[in-house]
A and B are shown apart, each in its own frame.
Chain A
Amino acid sequence: MRHLIYAAALIATPAVAGVEEAVNDYILPHLAAFTEAAEVLDDAAQESCEAEGLVGPYNAAFDGWMAVADVRLGPSEQGALSLSFWPDKRGFTERTLADLISNKDPVVEDQAAFEEISIAARGFFALERMLYDSQFNDYAEGDYACTLVRALTRDVVDQATALQAQWNDFAPLLLDPGSAGNTTYLDEAEAQRAIYTQILSALEFTKDTRLGRPLGEVARARPTRAEAWRSGRSLTQSVLATEAAVGLAEALADWELPETRAALDAVREQAETITDPSFQNIGDLMKRLDVEILQQKIDAVENAVEVEVGTRYGITPGFNSSDGD
């Protein structure tokens, strides 16, 4: 497990810039775009709940979410969990959905009550089961499952809208550190470190968890531990997460990031070599190697960000939400 690295020197910080760009040019617009994509998905679901027709808008909305999914800051610290609860190490999503369906739980008729149910049965991973898992996706108009899918897409829109509103309230704390009453960020360096921490944690999470979990050990790959494998999104998730981290890094830096850019290009190039985007073939050593190389390429992005952003600003990452087990 990799822990915080504080060994680098903390040098006097120059007049801090970049936080405004990171918030106003990256985070807030991507949250808005995600809300729009979520609305398209919900509109489609309210019109017809059937799985086949929702695959397109589902993937578009999930893509939109991935632009901000790993920013676990402020309202997203909790808000992200109910949109994308993963990894699900103890099978909560399957069990909770199965319980809702077998009990025909009326909670699906009431959006306010739906917001109170277990996060395992909300958001993109619950929807993935409903749309892709043969145990769940064989339903028709009028079935309980159809109403459940509509409750799920409506809930994603409600969450997206709420998150956007909460971010509008939270953003001033990042943008105006040290102002009266702002005990969250006392100075510009703290605001900067907060965003920088998200960038590095996203890259680490992608490398160690999104890719590391399915890779398992050489003799024992775990393809069904891949993120969103049922929808064939595993590779996409890792690429989008890396692109999002780089996008945020570029916003945070007031200068070009040539090495980071080159490292991202190498990630995309390596992604092209991977033949099964759901990683279900990684039991084959050659296929496994392709994913391991992808992991190394993401590691190179992290190193480049550390050099081009962290060292130049003189900041090191703080604690992140995946520091535990």
Chain B
Amino acid sequence: MKNASGRSAGPPFFVSDWNHSKFPITLLGHSLTYPTKSISYSAKHQNYEVTKGTDMMKRATLTAAGLILGTVPAFAATKGEVLTTYADIAHAGYEDSLTTAQALNDAVEALIASPSEDTLAAARAAWVAAREPYQQTEVYRFGNPIVDDWEGKVNAWPLDEGLIDYVDESYGGATDENPFAAVNVIANPQLTIAGQEVDASSITPELIADTLNEADGIESNVARGYHAIEFLLWGQDLNGTDAGAGDRPYSDFAQGDDCTNGNCDRRVDYLEASMDLLISDLEEMVAAWGQGGEAREAVMANEDAGIIAILTGMGSLSYGEQAGERMRLGLMLNDPEEEHDCFSDNTHRSHYNDGLGVQNVYLGSYTRVDGTVVEGPSLSDLVAEANADLDAEMKEKLDTTMTAMTAISDAAENGMAVDQMLAPGNEEGEKLMMDAIDGLIDQTATIERIVADLGLEAIEFEGSDSLDNPNAVFQ
């Protein structure tokens, strides 16, 4: 899994480059500013890695100097510029999600054309690679209704996978909440859902989107998106809280007598249809954040509301969603399926990239899958101008969280997957998870402080511009 990930922004590369210390002055600045342990990795470091020009060195040095003095902002950022950076990072993130999904589609087509251990492994690696940029965009969800309304189509979770394909006997059947938890569309061309006869003889994107997904209004009927595709590529992880991910045989996609577990032709149709949907869904979001796109326009329409959208996204993802729903709840339920990528055991990267996304939007810098950097005036710059101490506190807490996320990711890649961390009595795993949870909660408190701090400014400016002098807004 590790060498197959195809990731370009993972910590090991940067940590080693960073330690070779191309920019000793900057390193000095950081070491004075942050506790040593948090130097290991932060999104900022990526900038230095990929932008080696003299200007960047100057800027990096200035930034470090600013951090030392605690007074000099790196940029004199305006809110409009900060929002432009925010929208640009969104656009780049969704574009990277799209291109990596297209690469996944190529790998899936190769698997279908010629099912083998190798083509299945390549498709799985492409899925893992596609998750890297996508998870970094999750920070856009909660502050932007356009994203939040859409994201259920691509990243809904958790799912009752028995809706889609065969499952192990231990899975059980229908539940109180979901009578369709074990419908198995791939094996059943004729279905009854909520009293309606459904003709599933042909598995199309329309059938998945309009009939199966959230069938009968039940959230866990997730028929589309990354996790449906993940289930098709890996199958159920039947190892509980022991080592090992899903282990679907490649022959599940073979035709004729080689087909295992039945209905391979329908399984292939399902996989292709769900890939078509994923790509068209991502195209929609790339367009929404492009020039003139509705998500970009919405965030730019009112500068203060736009800044609040950034902070709302950071805080809601950090606290309620990630620390609470995805990490703490799984830990307290001790349930191996309560992990975000439960079939592939890639959850450590989802957690890591969610955290990184929060850091990206704060620092106004995103390293693309090709290694280039999208960056500009940032929320950090804006906060630093008003309150340099608060900006330093935010950066330090984001770093602390990322150190904890890195530890989870490293532990997983060294053999302790997140589902194993959730096992009752795994104290080491619990500590790894709790450190990240505590970091996320702690950074949320600082996000609240920033809201309060900027709130004062915002009201003052807005009051003078639009209320006291209505004409000012047209000037």
Contact present for B177 and A90 (CB under 8 Å): yes
Within the assembled complex, what's the spacing in Å between the Cα atoms of A29 and B207?
56
A166-186 vs B, CB cutoff 8 Å, 1 = contact: the mask equals: 000000000000000000101
Stretch in B100-108, B116-124, B244-252, B447-455 touching the partner = B447-455
B370 at the interface (CB under 8 A from A): no
B333, closest chain A residue (CB): A118
B422 → chain A, closest Cβ, in Å?
A: 10
**Which interface residue of B425, B448, B455 has the most chain A CB atoms within 10 A?**
B448
Within the assembled complex, what's the spacing in Å between the Cα atoms of A78 and B311?
24
A52 at the interface (CB under 8 A from B): no
A140 at the interface (CB under 8 A from B): no
Contact present for A189 and B334 (CB under 8 Å): no
Within the assembled complex, what's the spacing in Å between the Cα atoms of A119 and B216?
28
A193 at the interface (CB under 8 A from B): yes
**Which interface residue of A6, A77, A81 has the most chain B CB atoms within 10 A?**
A6
Contact present for A4 and B449 (CB under 8 Å): no
Contact present for B459 and A81 (CB under 8 Å): no
**Contacting residues, chain A, for B318 (C-beta < 8 A):** 319
Contact present for B148 and A91 (CB under 8 Å): no
- Those of B431-475 within 8 Å (CB) of chain A: 441, 444-445, 447-449, 451-452, 455-456, 459
A73-113 vs B, CB cutoff 8 Å, 1 = contact: the mask equals: 00001100110010001111011000000000000000000
Contact present for B148 and A117 (CB under 8 Å): no
**Contacting residues, chain A, for B168 (C-beta < 8 A):** none
B172-183 vs A, CB cutoff 8 Å, 1 = contact: the mask equals: 100111000000
**Contacting residues, chain B, for A85 (C-beta < 8 A):** 332-333
Contact present for B333 and A324 (CB under 8 Å): no
- Those of B371-426 within 8 Å (CB) of chain A: 424-425
- Those of A265-306 within 8 Å (CB) of chain B: none
Within the assembled complex, what's the spacing in Å between the Cα atoms of A9 and B326?
33
Contact of B315 among A4, A91, A95 (CB under 8 A): A4
**Contacting residues, chain A, for B160 (C-beta < 8 A):** 90
**Contacting residues, chain A, for B176 (C-beta < 8 A):** 91, 94, 224
- Those of B286-330 within 8 Å (CB) of chain A: 305, 308, 311-312, 315-322, 324-326, 328-329
Contact present for A3 and B177 (CB under 8 Å): no
**Contacting residues, chain B, for A7 (C-beta < 8 A):** 305, 308
Contact of A3 among B142, B321, B441, B447 (CB under 8 A): B142
Contact of B329 among A10, A81, A94, A220 (CB under 8 A): A81
Consensus secondary structure, chain B interface:
helix
A322 at the interface (CB under 8 A from B): yes
Known: A3-B142, A118-B333. A321 touches B320 (CB 8 A): yes
Contact present for B325 and A78 (CB under 8 Å): no
Contact present for B320 and A324 (CB under 8 Å): yes
Contact present for B148 and A1 (CB under 8 Å): yes
Contact present for B177 and A119 (CB under 8 Å): no
Contact present for A10 and B455 (CB under 8 Å): yes
Contact present for A10 and B175 (CB under 8 Å): no
B49 at the interface (CB under 8 A from A): no
B143 at the interface (CB under 8 A from A): yes
B10 at the interface (CB under 8 A from A): no
Contact present for A184 and B459 (CB under 8 Å): no
**Contacting residues, chain B, for A323 (C-beta < 8 A):** 142, 315-316, 319-321
B262 at the interface (CB under 8 A from A): no
**Contacting residues, chain A, for B175 (C-beta < 8 A):** 90-91
Within the assembled complex, what's the spacing in Å between the Cα atoms of A6 and B314?
14
A320 at the interface (CB under 8 A from B): yes
Known: A90-B175, A321-B320. A116 touches B315 (CB 8 A): no
Contact present for A3 and B332 (CB under 8 Å): no
Consensus secondary structure, chain A interface:
loop
A56 at the interface (CB under 8 A from B): no
**Contacting residues, chain B, for A319 (C-beta < 8 A):** 315-316, 318-320, 444, 447-448
Within the assembled complex, what's the spacing in Å between the Cα atoms of A190 and B452?
10
Contact present for B425 and A322 (CB under 8 Å): no
The tally of residues in B whose CB lies under 8 Å from a CB in A reads 47
A317 → chain B, closest Cβ, in Å?
A: 9
Known: A324-B324, A324-B325. A120 touches B333 (CB 8 A): yes
A53 at the interface (CB under 8 A from B): no
B219 at the interface (CB under 8 A from A): yes
**Contacting residues, chain B, for A190 (C-beta < 8 A):** 448-449
**Contacting residues, chain A, for B177 (C-beta < 8 A):** 89-91, 224-225
**Contacting residues, chain B, for A78 (C-beta < 8 A):** 328, 332
**Contacting residues, chain A, for B256 (C-beta < 8 A):** none
B330 → chain A, closest Cβ, in Å?
A: 10
Within the assembled complex, what's the spacing in Å between the Cα atoms of A55 and B405?
45
**Contacting residues, chain A, for B452 (C-beta < 8 A):** 10, 189, 193
B367 at the interface (CB under 8 A from A): no
A311 → chain B, closest Cβ, in Å?
A: 14
A205 → chain B, closest Cβ, in Å?
A: 11
B213 at the interface (CB under 8 A from A): no
Contact present for A92 and B333 (CB under 8 Å): yes
B53 at the interface (CB under 8 A from A): no
B240 at the interface (CB under 8 A from A): no
Contact present for A217 and B217 (CB under 8 Å): yes
Contact of B143 among A3, A81, A325 (CB under 8 A): A3
B295 → chain A, closest Cβ, in Å?
A: 16
- Those of A196-229 within 8 Å (CB) of chain B: 216-217, 220, 224-225
A247 at the interface (CB under 8 A from B): no
B70 at the interface (CB under 8 A from A): no
A318 at the interface (CB under 8 A from B): yes
B177 → chain A, closest Cβ, in Å?
A: 6
A86 → chain B, closest Cβ, in Å?
A: 12
Within the assembled complex, what's the spacing in Å between the Cα atoms of A2 and B17?
44
Contact of B424 among A1, A10, A117, A225 (CB under 8 A): A117
- The list of the 3 closest CB pairs from A to B, nearest first, reads A324-B321, A323-B320, A324-B320
24 A-B pairs within 8 Å (CB atoms) are namely A1-B148, A3-B142, A4-B312, A4-B315, A6-B311, A6-B312, A10-B452, A78-B332, A89-B177, A90-B158, A95-B172, A118-B333, A118-B334, A118-B335, A119-B332, A120-B333, A190-B448, A193-B448, A224-B177, A318-B315, A319-B319, A322-B320, A323-B142, A325-B321
Which positions in B face A, CB cutoff 8 Å?
142-143, 148, 158, 160, 172, 175-177, 216-217, 219-220, 305, 308, 311-312, 315-322, 324-326, 328-329, 332-335, 424-425, 441, 444-445, 447-449, 451-452, 455-456, 459
Which positions in A face B, CB cutoff 8 Å?
1, 3-4, 6-7, 9-10, 77-78, 81-82, 85, 89-92, 94-95, 116-120, 184, 186, 189-190, 193, 216-217, 220, 224-225, 316, 318-325
